[in-house]
């Protein structure tokens, strides 16, 4: 176990101490203790940058279940390091922010930080594990802790709804992903990611390639809120804002991106991968940005914006996968570089915007943009941060969002050069959707800033008088906004240290020797760059549309999108149908009537028996060994049958008891005829006692209703009972003929030969009962004893004054 | 003779199944009694009928009937007797407590 393993485990261990700290040190906000951990981890991970950027990969092994190939291996490459830094870095800022956001009084801080640390550890586990099964375990832990955090204010119904929704959707995806991982194991015999990548050609030629790809993408799409699984993200906004900032913008929702990037070396190059990843990404980009414009809640805007931006990153990863098909010189790697760069940028500006939304909420009491306005003068610092974040998101110079948006547009235009994958037919959609979505992105970014901070200040609609937030609360968004500006002006500080190793992890087989990707991010591409003109037109059209917003916003009502995302109707419908449908099925089948269950059992039994006989062609009547039938047997059989058949038709209880007793006595006559004296004796005795019992039982029920039986006749019952009889007879006859075909020695000859010599008795049946097979008899006595006790208890039992059952 | 007895066993099973499917608890108990008769006869029949004398060695016969099914049936008779007795008393208690032997009325609550 190495230090990296400990880095993953330490948040979990620390989480255990949290309740203790919360209770023992109530004077200090628990968040201050928590803050130490991500800061140290961030520093620790930073120390890996020189190693990783030189192209090395840190691998530490730790056996967990080696017999199943499941090992807790840590695999730190560029991609893992990038995510690790995001998780710990933004984690530290979020914890600092939450110290000021959540008050000591009235908040269950120990729960909050427990879940948060659990989440942090799980996230580190996901990105650092080199084994798919371990990755899956941590993946589900992030789903679990995320749901706990969304439902943090569990007294609110909406929080519980959001938590349940995110849990159901992400866990569904998680299960699909597990199935995909299992298929990969079937194909390659390994759970280790590097080993599977090494066998990528085996996977590509396998028939399971497409199912495994779809299942794993299902996991990635649900986690990263891609269409149509995006619906959980807007509802997850019921979580406290630090949680939204951390989980639902910067880290957890990027797990799907991480997974797609991580398994890219296995799947990319296939047209299906290209189309699904980039197609779903582009549509999500459009859908998210289109829906963000109609939102009136700050966090809802940000949620749809996150969906849209995640779609954008996803589409870039999809386009970048063409490089695996065309080779790495074709320029498609630029899309992947853009994806990684935008991933970093998005974390910085979206994190800061969420914190801004939280500050606005905290200082005014609302997040509704219809109530907000004119806050600029009250909160100048927050306004500045919001401007930086929103302009970066909109893709305006000089912020980092501008650079990655340029690269995005450029790679979408470059995707037109792809000549395979049916791109001639649909390729034009790529830049068109990208352009349209960017226009909407611009509009909602403007809404976000200007509807909140400029315009008329509506004092009457706000609960409290707004003022600037405390410095501790402002510090984290300031740090993030500074990064936005820093990466905007000096993007190349990241390119060699972080982005290049990450891209290298996505294209592990592309580089040979000391070769490396030449990544240079420029703000200026020259007048011949299509991206420049696209950006200019986006800003121009976006501005016009923003200024005329009230005129065309009716389109959402026209499209019936103004209430909620239509996918929600499908989700709620499915949930309702599942509940009501299973209730229906249960009510249909669980009637509570003993008779119905007997009907099911017997129908199943008859079906199974006849099907088996038919399937193995085992019907048969064999007359070779049968004994001749004397006349008196015919008579007795006829009488027994008549007596038995009469029982259901008798309307009188005593008469039916006598009829059943009659059958019993005649059965003992059979035992006489078939030379079983002991049986005949016992049967006579037992039958007498049973009949006496029946009559006694009947006699001792004076308060019984006087009415006679009025048995109702039902055809279904007749059919089933005749079926059971036919089944027993058929099976008996078939068994006999089968026994004649394959005869084998009966064991009874041994008993007959040895009863006298070994056991010293002449009555073979009795010798078997008490000597050869005495154990049966002992237990049978036990059965009788228990029955007797039961009888006595039932008769004597009186629950006085209590429940008399 | 085995074929004839097999048919009789079929009749016994049919009648007992029909009784068990009715809604009177009392008749269900009668049904179980008939079904155990059928099962006992089945065991005996499957062991083969009508060859040799009773398995008593003192007789000095040349062949005996199979003693093992007889031992098995003897055990089964006693056990089914115990079961019948217990079922009967349970029926009796059910009458006492619920004043009915109609299985439809003994159904209990819907939400169970």
Q: Touching check for B90 and chain A: CB below 8 Å?
A: yes
Give residue A683's pLDDT.
93
Q: Touching check for B61 and chain A: CB below 8 Å?
A: no
In whole angstroms, give the CA distance from residue A800 to residue B60.
63
Partners of A192 in the beta sheet? A131
Give residue B109's pLDDT.
57
A97 touches A361 (CB < 8 A): no
Peptide bond preceding A52 in cis form (omega within 30 of 0): no
In whole angstroms, give the CA distance from residue A64 to residue A244.
34
- A760 Cα to chain B: minimum distance (Å): 11
Instruction: Give B79's contacts in chain A (Cβ within 8 Å).
Output: 780, 783-784
Q: What angle do CA A631, A633, A634 make, to 5 degrees?
A: 65
Q: Which helix (H) or strand (E) holds A59?
A: strand A58-60
Instruction: Give A727's contacts in chain B (Cβ within 8 Å).
Output: 13
Give residue B112's pLDDT.
45
Q: Touching check for A662 and chain B: CB below 8 Å?
A: no
Inspect the interface and report whether the beta carbons of B67 and A701 lie closer than 8 Å: no
Give residue A512's pLDDT.
53
Instruction: Give B104's contacts in chain A (Cβ within 8 Å).
Output: 593
Which residue of chain A is at minimal alpha-carbon distance from B71? A765
| Backbone φ/ψ region at A751: left (φ over 0), alpha (ψ -120 to 50), beta | alpha
Inspect the interface and report whether the beta carbons of A694 and B14 lie closer than 8 Å: no
SS3 content of chain B, % helix, strand, coil (to 5): 70, 5, 25
In whole angstroms, give the CA distance from residue A340 to residue B3.
82
What stretches in chain A show pLDDT beneath 70?
A: 328-330, 420-424, 509-528, 559-563, 699-712, 798-805
Pick the residue of B11, B40, B62, B105 with the most A CBs within 10 A to test the interface with A by mutation. B11
State pTM to two decimals.
0.82
Q: Which helix (H) or strand (E) holds A5?
A: helix A3-24
Buried/exposed A327-361: b ≥16 CB within 10 Å, e otherwise:
ebeeebbbbbbbbbbbbbbbbbbbbbbbbbbbbbb
Contact partners, residue A143, CB within 8 Å, separation at least 6: A166, A167, A170, A171, A174, A223
Inspect the interface and report whether the beta carbons of A725 and B17 lie closer than 8 Å: yes
In whole angstroms, give the CA distance from residue A305 to residue A284.
10
At which residue do the structure tokens 């239509």 appear?
A566
Q: Touching check for B91 and chain A: CB below 8 Å?
A: yes
Q: Touching check for B45 and chain A: CB below 8 Å?
A: yes
Of A557, A311, A348, residue with least CA distance to A440: A311
CA torsion, ordered A150, A152, A153, A159, to nearest 10 deg: 20
Of A6, A116, A163, A151, residue with least CA distance to A72: A6
Which residue of chain B is at minimal alpha-carbon distance from A796? B93
Alpha carbon distances (Å) from A72 to A76, A134, A136, A138, A172: 13, 6, 11, 11, 24
Q: Touching check for A774 and chain B: CB below 8 Å?
A: no
Which residue of chain B is at minimal alpha-carbon distance from A739? B46
Domain positions in chain B:
2-48+66-98
- B102 Cα to chain A: minimum distance (Å): 10
Q: Touching check for A682 and chain B: CB below 8 Å?
A: yes
In whole angstroms, give the CA distance from residue A101 to residue A94.
10
C-alpha neighbours within 13 Å on the C-beta side of residue A60 = 11
A469 touches A377 (CB < 8 A): no
Give residue A789's pLDDT.
92
Tokens of B13: 């099973």
In whole angstroms, give the CA distance from residue A391 to residue A435.
17
Contact partners, residue A309, CB within 8 Å, separation at least 6: A285, A288, A342, A346, A350, A393, A441
Window 607-626 of A, Cβ < 8 Å to B: 621, 623, 625-626
- Which of A628, A721, A732 minimises the CB distance to B18? A721
Partners of B24 in the beta sheet? B102
Secondary structure in 3-state letters for A173-192: HHHHHHHHHHHHHHHHCCCE
Of A506, A214, A543, A483, residue with least CA distance to A337: A506
> For A403, phi and psi rounded to 5 degrees?
-60, -50
- When the candidates are 1.10.357, 1.10.3470, 1.10.287, 3.20.20, the CATH number that belongs to B2-48+66-98 is 1.10.287
In whole angstroms, give the CA distance from residue A80 to residue A345.
17
- A168 Cα to chain B: minimum distance (Å): 27
Alpha carbon distances (Å) from B108 to A594, A712, A802, B104, B112: 11, 21, 18, 9, 7
Neighbours of A583 (CB within 10 A): 10
Give residue A780's pLDDT.
92
At which residue do the structure tokens 């801004």 appear?
A356
- Which of A714, A729, A751 minimises the CB distance to B9? A729
Pick the residue of B1, B62, B72, B101 with the most A CBs within 10 A to test the interface with A by mutation. B1
Three-state secondary-structure class, residue B45: helix
Inspect the interface and report whether the beta carbons of A653 and B41 lie closer than 8 Å: no
At which residue do the structure tokens 């009502």 appear?
A557
In whole angstroms, give the CA distance from residue A109 to residue A100.
12
Give residue A804's pLDDT.
46
Quick one: DSSP state of residue A129? B
Buried/exposed B13-49: b ≥16 CB within 10 Å, e otherwise:
bbbbbbbbbbbbbbbbbbbbbbbbbbbbbbebbbbbb
First vs last C-alpha separation in chain A: 61
Q: Which long-range contacts (CB under 8 A, 24 or more apart) does A536-541 make?
A: A537/A435, A538/A395, A538/A435, A538/A438, A538/A439, A538/A442, A539/A394, A539/A396, A539/A442, A541/A439
**Predicted confidence band of residue B22 (pLDDT cuts 50, 70, 90):** confident
Please tell me the total number of residues recorded for chain B in this structure: 112
Tokens of B45: 């029949």
Inspect the interface and report whether the beta carbons of A729 and B110 lie closer than 8 Å: no
DSSP A749-767: HHHHHHIIIII--SBHHHH
- B74 Cα to chain A: minimum distance (Å): 6
Q: Touching check for B85 and chain A: CB below 8 Å?
A: yes
Give residue A523's pLDDT.
59
A127 touches A142 (CB < 8 A): no
| A-B Cβ pairs (cutoff 8 Å, strict) | 258
Please tell me the total number of residues recorded for chain A in this structure: 805
Of A137, A122, A116, A56, residue with least CA distance to A83: A122
In whole angstroms, give the CA distance from residue A376 to residue A598.
76
In whole angstroms, give the CA distance from residue A260 to residue A83.
13
ipTM over 0.85 threshold: yes
In whole angstroms, give the CA distance from residue A727 to residue A602.
10
DSSP B14-30: HHHHHHHHSSBHHHHHH
Inspect the interface and report whether the beta carbons of B56 and A623 lie closer than 8 Å: no
Inspect the interface and report whether the beta carbons of A645 and B15 lie closer than 8 Å: yes
The runs of H, that is alpha helices, within A241-297 are 241-245, 255-267, 271-292
Inspect the interface and report whether the beta carbons of A795 and B8 lie closer than 8 Å: no
Inspect the interface and report whether the beta carbons of B99 and A656 lie closer than 8 Å: no
Q: What angle do CA A366, A369, A373 make, to 5 degrees?
A: 95
Q: Touching check for A805 and chain B: CB below 8 Å?
A: yes
Q: Touching check for A161 and chain B: CB below 8 Å?
A: no
Quick one: DSSP state of residue A468? P
Inspect the interface and report whether the beta carbons of A717 and B18 lie closer than 8 Å: yes
Partners of B64 in the beta sheet? B53
- Which of A595, A653, A725 minimises the CB distance to B11? A725
Instruction: Give B40's contacts in chain A (Cβ within 8 Å).
Output: 667
Inspect the interface and report whether the beta carbons of B91 and A697 lie closer than 8 Å: yes
Inspect the interface and report whether the beta carbons of B18 and A718 lie closer than 8 Å: yes
Three-state secondary-structure class, residue A131: strand
Instruction: Give B36's contacts in chain A (Cβ within 8 Å).
Output: none
A315 touches A410 (CB < 8 A): no
At which residue do the structure tokens 């085995």 appear?
B2
């Amino acid at each position: 176990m190495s230090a990296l393993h400990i880095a993953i485990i330490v948040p979990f261990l620390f989480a255990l101490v949290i309740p203790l700290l919360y209770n023992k040190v109530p004077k200090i906000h628990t968040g201050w203790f928590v803050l130490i951990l991500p800061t140290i981890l961030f520093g620790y991970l930073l120390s890996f940058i020189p190693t990783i950027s030189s192209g090395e990969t840190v691998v530490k092994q730790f056996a967990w279940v080696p017999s199943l190939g499941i090992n807790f291996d840590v695999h730190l490459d560029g991609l893992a390091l990038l995510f690790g830094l995001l998780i710990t870095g933004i984690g530290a800022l979020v914890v600092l922010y939450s110290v000021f956001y959540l008050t000591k009084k009235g908040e269950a801080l120990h729960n909050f930080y427990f879940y948060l640390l659990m989440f942090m550890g799980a996230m580190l586990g996901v990105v650092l594990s080199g084994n798919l099964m371990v990755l899956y375990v941590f993946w589900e832990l992030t789903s679990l802790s995320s749901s706990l955090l969304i439902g943090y204010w569990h007294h609110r119904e909406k929080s519980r709804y959001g938590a349940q929704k995110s849990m159901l959707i992400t866990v569904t995806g998680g299960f699909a992903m597990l199935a995909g991982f299992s298929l990969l194991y079937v194909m390659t015999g390994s759970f280790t990611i590097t080993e599977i990548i090494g066998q990528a050609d085996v996977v590509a030629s396998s028939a399971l390639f497409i199912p495994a790809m779809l299942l794993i993408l299902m996991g990635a799409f649900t986690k990263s809120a891609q269409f149509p699984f995006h619906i959980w993200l807007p509802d997850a906004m019921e979580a406290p804002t630090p949680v939204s900032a951390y989980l639902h913008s910067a880290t957890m929702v990027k797990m799907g991106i991480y997974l797609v990037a991580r398994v890219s070396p296995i799947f990319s190059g296939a047209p299906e991968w290209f189309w699904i990843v980039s197609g779903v990404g582009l549509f999500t980009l459009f859908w998210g940005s289109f829906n963000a414009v109609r939102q009136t809640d700050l966090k809802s805007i940000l949620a749809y914006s996150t969906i849209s931006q995640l779609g954008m990153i996803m589409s870039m990863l999809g386009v970048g996968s063409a490089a695996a098909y065309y080779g790495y010189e074709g320029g498609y790697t630029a899309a992947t570089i853009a994806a990684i760069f935008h991933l970093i940028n998005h974390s910085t500006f979206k994190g800061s915007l969420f914190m801004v939304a939280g500050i606005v909420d905290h200082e005014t009491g609302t997040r509704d943009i219809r109530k907000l306005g004119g806050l600029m003068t009250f909160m100048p610092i927050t306004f500045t941060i919001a401007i930086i974040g929103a302009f970066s998101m909109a893709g305006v110079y000089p912020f980092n969002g501008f650079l990655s948006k340029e690269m995005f547009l450029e790679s979408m235009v470059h995707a037109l050069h792809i000549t395979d994958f049916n791109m001639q037919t649909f390729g034009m959609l790529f830049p068109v959707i990208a352009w349209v979505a960017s226009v909407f992105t611009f509009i909602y970014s403007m809404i976000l800033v200007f509807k909140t901070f400029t315009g008329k200040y509506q004092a009457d609609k706000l609960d409290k008088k707004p003022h600037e937030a405390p410095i501790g609360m402002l510090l984290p968004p300031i740090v993030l906004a500074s990064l936005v500006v820093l990466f905007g002006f000096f993007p190349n500080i990241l390119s060699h240290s972080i982005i290049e190793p990450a891209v290298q992890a996505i294209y592990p087989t592309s580089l040979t020797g000391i070769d490396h990707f030449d990544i240079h991010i420029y703000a200026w591409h020259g007048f011949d760059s299509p991206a420049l003109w696209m950006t200019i037109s986006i800003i121009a059209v976006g501005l016009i549309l923003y200024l005329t917003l009230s005129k065309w916003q009716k389109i959402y009502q026209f499209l019936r999108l103004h209430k909620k995302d239509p996918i929600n109707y499908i989700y709620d419908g499915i949930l309702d149908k599942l509940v009501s449908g299973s209730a229906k099925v249960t009510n249909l089948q669980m009637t509570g009537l003993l008779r119905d269950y007997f009907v099911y059992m017997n129908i199943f039994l008859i079906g199974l028996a006849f099907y088996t006989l038919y399937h193995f062609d085992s019907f048969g009547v064999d007359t070779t060994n049968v004994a001749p039938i004397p006349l008196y047997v015919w008579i007795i059989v006829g009488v027994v049958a008549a007596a038995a058949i009469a029982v259901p038709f008798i309307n009188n209880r005593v008469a039916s008891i006598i009829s059943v007793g009659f059958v019993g006595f005649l059965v003992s006559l059979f035992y006489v005829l078939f030379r079983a004296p002991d049986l005949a004796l016992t049967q006579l005795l037992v039958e007498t006692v049973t009949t006496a019992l029946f009559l006694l039982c009947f006699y001792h029920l004076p308060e019984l209703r006087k009415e006679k039986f009025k048995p109702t006749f039902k055809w279904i019952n007749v059919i089933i009972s005749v079926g059971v009889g036919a089944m027993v007879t058929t099976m008996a006859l078939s068994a006999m003929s089968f026994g004649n075909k394959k005869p084998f020695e009966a064991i009874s000859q041994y008993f007959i030969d040895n009863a006298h010599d070994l056991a010293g008795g002449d009555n073979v049946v009795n010798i078997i009962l008490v000597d050869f097979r005495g154990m049966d008899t002992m237990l049978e006595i036990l059965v009788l004893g228990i029955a007797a006790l039961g009888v006595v208890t039932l008769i004597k039992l009186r629950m006085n004054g209590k429940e008399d059952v | 003779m085995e074929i004839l007895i097999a048919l009789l066993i079929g009749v016994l099973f049919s009648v007992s199944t029909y009784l068990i499917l009715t809604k009177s608890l009392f008749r269900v108990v009668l049904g179980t009694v008939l079904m155990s008769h059928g099962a006992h006869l089945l065991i005996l029949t499957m062991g083969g009928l009508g060859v040799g004398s009773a398995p008593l060695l003192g007789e000095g016969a040349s062949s005996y009937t199979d003693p093992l099914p007889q031992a098995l049936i003897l055990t089964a008779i006693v056990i089914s007797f115990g079961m019948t007795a217990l079922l009967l008393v349970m029926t009796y208690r059910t009458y006492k407590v619920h004043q009915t032997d109609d299985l439809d009325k003994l159904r209990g609550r819907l939400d169970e």
